[in-house]
């Protein structure tokens, strides 16, 4: 099994995948707890427009995807202020805009369909050195930001009004956070795929929340679940010659189901023991 590591593309895929396995749940837990889970889908569709634009223009697709997704993230933050009572409308508006632009750009060149497949569903074979460098670079930025502003992000996540009263620069933190979400989606799409990248931000977090007893434990467990999914998904996708993104997310879903089943089983056993004692 480990003989595969002699291949350059597998080495690149694993390096990128392991970093993504840290970034997605690290950002995803704040996204989930702030009830913004759908923002991943919205920015992913905009990123698809960026990929299509990059392929048409003959430039590095991830750079244009990053530009498009960051711009969309800022637009969502701006629209949220215009629809304070219906904040989810901002996400829906940008999602509609993103997918419509993508469809129009793709229709200009049918030859893009082949190249877009690897971005849509993820591909371990097509991960280049440039992709790895971008994942590492943006990954460091994301980790450093979370490390520096961990307390502020935690405060805002659980009580934004109290954080505002406490003097935390909410607008600035939210602005930077939404940009980080866009960056996470951009760097993850090469392995997980545009259509499934938001699932990678949500599923490991959903699994960890079932059993975690603290916020830090939830982060730790979500990263562990994500890494298991990524590593197994990459190896299985290679052997079965299937899309890596779908395989990784399927493992994430499987772990969530197993966690829920085992948790309920343990609770039933404990309940039965308590009843027998009484």
DSSP string for residues in the chain: -GGGGGSHHHHHHHHHHHHHHHHHHHHHHHHHHTT-TTHHHHHHHHHHHHHHHHHHHTS-HHHHHHHHHHHHHHHHHHHHHHTGGGTHHHHHHHHHHHHHHHHHHHHH-TTHHHHHHHHHH--STT--HHHHHHHHHHHHHHHHHHHHTHHHHHHHHH-HHHHHHTT--HHHHHHHHHHHHHHHHHHHHHHH-TTTHHHHHHHHHHHHHHH-SSHHHHHHHHHHHHHHHHHHHHHHHHHHT--HHHHHHHHHHHHHHHHHHHHHHHHHHHHHHHHHH-
Number of domains forming the structure of the chain: 1
pLDDT value for 79: 81
> Is 227 a domain residue?
no
pLDDT value for 111: 59
pLDDT tens-place string over residues 220-277? 999 999 999 999 998 898 888 888 888 999 999 999 999 999 999 988 888 888 777 7
pLDDT value for 95: 84
Please tell me the pTM assigned to this model.
0.85
> Is 79 a domain residue?
yes
Instruction: Provide the residue range defining the domain that includes 125.
Output: 2-198
Would the pLDDT of 197 be above 60? yes
> Is 207 a domain residue?
no
> Is 229 a domain residue?
no
> Is 169 a domain residue?
yes
pLDDT tens-place string over residues 119-139? 777 777 778 888 889 889 989
> Is 276 a domain residue?
no
Q: The domain that contains 125 carries what CATH number?
A: 1.10.3470.10
pLDDT value for 27: 93
* Highest mean predicted confidence (pLDDT) among 68-77, 124-133, 138-147: 138-147
> Is 35 a domain residue?
yes
> Is 137 a domain residue?
yes
């Amino acid at each position: 099994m480990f003989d595969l590591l002699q291949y350059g593309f597998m080495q690149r895929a694993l390096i990128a995948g392991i970093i993504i396995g840290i970034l997605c749940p690290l950002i995803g837990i704040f996204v989930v707890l702030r009830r913004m889970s759908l923002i991943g889908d919205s920015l992913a569709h905009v990123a698809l427009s960026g990929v299509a634009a990059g392929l048409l223009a003959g430039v590095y697709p991830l750079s244009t995807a990053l530009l498009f997704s960051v711009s969309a993230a800022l637009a969502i933050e701006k629209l949220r202020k215009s629809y304070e009572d219906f904040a989810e409308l901002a996400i829906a508006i940008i999602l509609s805009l993103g997918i419509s632009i993508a469809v129009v750009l793709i229709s200009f060149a049918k030859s893009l369909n082949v190249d877009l497949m690897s971005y849509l569903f993820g591909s371990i074979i097509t991960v280049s050195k440039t992709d790895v460098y971008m994942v590492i670079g943006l990954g460091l930025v994301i980790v450093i930001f979370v490390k520096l502003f961990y307390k502020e992000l935690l405060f805002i996540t659980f009580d934004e009004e109290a954080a505002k009263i406490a003097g935390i620069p909410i607008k600035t933190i939210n602005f930077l956070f939404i940009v980080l979400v866009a960056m996470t989606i951009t760097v993850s799409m090469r392995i997980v795929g545009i259509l499934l990248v938001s699932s990678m931000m949500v599923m490991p977090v959903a699994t960890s929340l079932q059993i975690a007893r603290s916020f830090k434990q939830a982060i730790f467990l979500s990263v562990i679940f994500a890494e298991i999914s990524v590593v197994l998904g990459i190896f299985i996708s290679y052997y079965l010659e299937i899309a890596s993104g779908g395989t990784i997310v399927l493992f994430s879903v499987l772990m969530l189901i197993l966690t829920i089943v085992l948790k309920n089983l343990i609770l039933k056993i404990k309940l039965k023991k308590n009843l027998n004692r009484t």
